[in-house]
Structures are given as structure tokens and as C-alpha cells.
A = this chain, B = another copy of it.
Amino acid sequence: MTTPLGIAVIGTGRMGADHVRRIQEVISGARVTAVVDVDAERAKAVAGRVDGCAVHTDPAAAMASAEVDAVLVASPGPAHEAALMAAFARGLPVLCEKPLTPDAASALRLVEAERALGGRRVQVGFMRRYDAEYVRLKALLETGQLGRPLMLHQRHRNVASASFFTSDMLITDSVSHEVDVTRWLTGQEITAVTVLRPTSSAGAPEGLIDPQFVVLETAGGALADVEIFVNCGFGYQVQAEVVCERGTARVGDGHDLVTAMAGRWGGSIAQDWTERFADAYDREVQAWVDATRRGEVTGPGIWDGYAAAAVCEAGVRSLREGGRVEVELAARPTFYG
């Protein structure tokens, strides 16, 4: 395939519009040929910055165009299932933002639908797997020189949460990243979740349970703990330390520009994910474009999206009811390797 990949971007909110920019201005080998949004005006505004880009309010209509070779889904989570089913009907490959769907049941329907197609169609947007530091961490673990992973300590801190953020969303929206990272780094499914509640910060909005401390158990006996603190006030920090049998490895300290002044040495802390993971998003989309043009599907897929949904559901139950909640996963189709 030597012509650029024609992509329909579904959803033109903050994330969708940023992907349009990325495809047009950062990565090579692709162009945006259609944008879709229920808000036609918003879609038009985004399309207006792209040469020859069609505007639709219905995903299926966009996918019917001969100019559309692939679909990037960045609409709200509840709209994902329908968009993916439409893409499946057209045989189009998909990059779907996380979460795959809002709950495990709908995610499992997508697992079944993709299985019925006889091959993977979807890459899910767990972009940590494309971050340079995480990539090196994974590579190091795979060499085996540190031995088996026994524990995984993770910190996930945001400056402040959006006004609509709920206590459940600390699990479903934020910790879902660590859920995927834990599964990916250990190569094991998560079997139980316990959510603990330290006293909430005075810096958190009234009523929000923040921070939370989540303990994940894996099928192979590894233990992963996650501090999620979405109103930490001081910066955006994503850190992980894997404790293995013969050593540990840590990412996320971010020691690049170091200053000494006014009695302090140190560096600045990124203030949000667009700063911290810009390169990872670039790599993610590029990997998808490249694989698609080769006729392949790589990276995290529907099964990964489903597993994350199932773990997060268990996490929300633990948050609400207390105690340890076991995770029930459907049988993994051999299809996913």
C-alpha cells in the first residue's frame, strides 16, 4: 500500500481532535478522510482544517465511503460498541480509545463479534505500552535477568480532577491504565481486586474518595498495588517499580532537566498526560497505521479491553462494598494467542 491510509475519526472532542492533528501533522502514511460527531458543528470545525475531509454524524455512513480504509474511535465509551460493530460489518480495522466499552458485558460481546470474524480487527488505546520508558521496562523483564516479577508498585497522580469525576472513575478511568500495565508487564490475568480508602485529601472535591489504594492479585501470584490520587495538586506523575526475584526496575522519575537554585535541586514535573505521553501517542498511532497498511493487527486488542473492564467492575464493587472482590473472566478465545 503506497497511498496514505484514509482514516475516519469518530468523535471530535478533545481526544478525537488531537488524533486528527496527529495524523495530519505528525505521523506519516495516513490522512483523515472523514470525521464523525453527533455534534455536526464541532465535526465541521475540525474537518475544516483538513483537505478533502468529509463530515458525518453517523459512523456507518462515514464507513461506507471508498475513501475510508480504517476507523479511529474516539467517541464517548457508551458509543464504542455500535461504532465497532459498524466497522466489523464493513471489515474495517479499528483503533479504539480506552475504555473499550463502559462495562465487561458489552466488552465481552465485542470479543465474541471479533471471534466470529475469524481474526483481530481492533487495537485498543492503552498507550502506556508505547511509552519509551515502559517499552524499555517490558524489554528488560523479558530478558529474564531480574527473574519473575513478584510485586508491582504503581503511582498515578493528577494535579486535579474534572468536575464530573466520580469516586468510581478513579478506578474505571484512571486505574484502568494500571490494570492494563499490570497484565502486560506480568503476562498474567488479574484474579482479585481490593480497594482501600485512606482518609481523603482536603484538596479533593467534597465527597470524592481520593486518594484510593488498589491491590491487584494476578493468576501467577504477583501482587500489584496502585496509588491513585487525582487531586494531588503538585503534578502529573506516573511511576512504576517492578520488584522481581533478583532486582527491581523503576520508570517515571523523569530526571531530565535538573536545576539548582534557591536552596533546592531538582526538576519540574509534567502537569498532564499530553505533556508526559505525547510521544507515546505518536508511536501508538504510527504503529497502528503501519500495521494496518501491512494488513496486520498488533498491540493491545479487544481481549485486553475486556479484561480491563472486568477488573474495573470488580474494583468498583470493592470500593463500594469493601473487601476483596474476585475477578471473573470468560474463557479466553484461543484466537487471541
Question: Chain A interface (Cβ within 8 Å of chain B)?
Answer: 2, 23-29, 51, 132-133, 136-137, 140, 145-148, 150-151, 153, 155, 196-203, 211, 213, 215, 220-223, 225, 227, 229, 232-235, 237, 243, 245-251, 253-269, 271, 279, 286, 290
Task: List 27 A–B pairs whose Cβ atoms lie within 8 Å, in order of A's numbering.
Answer: A26-B27, A132-B256, A136-B257, A137-B257, A146-B259, A147-B203, A148-B201, A150-B199, A153-B155, A198-B222, A201-B245, A202-B245, A213-B225, A225-B225, A232-B243, A232-B246, A234-B246, A234-B264, A235-B260, A247-B261, A249-B257, A249-B259, A250-B258, A251-B257, A251-B258, A253-B256, A259-B266
Contact of A234 among B200, B225, B254, B263 (CB under 8 A): B263
Contact in complex: A198, B150 (CB < 8 Å): yes
Report how many copies the assembly holds: 4
How far apart sit A23 and B272, CA to CA, in the bound complex (Å)? 29
Expressed in whole angstroms, the minimum distance between the Cβ of A232 and any Cβ of chain B is 8
Q: Which B residues lie within 8 Å of A203 (CB)?
A: 147, 245-246
Q: Which residue of B lies closest to A262 (CB)?
A: B234
**Alpha-carbon distance between A229 and B241 when the two chains are bound, in angstroms:** 14
> Which of B248, B258, B271 interacts with A260 by CB under 8 Å?
B248
Task: Note all chain B residues with C-beta closer than 8 A to A225.
Answer: 213, 225
Contact (A268, B263) CB under 8 Å given A26-B28, A255-B253? yes
State the Cβ distance, A11 to closest chain B Cβ, in Å.
21
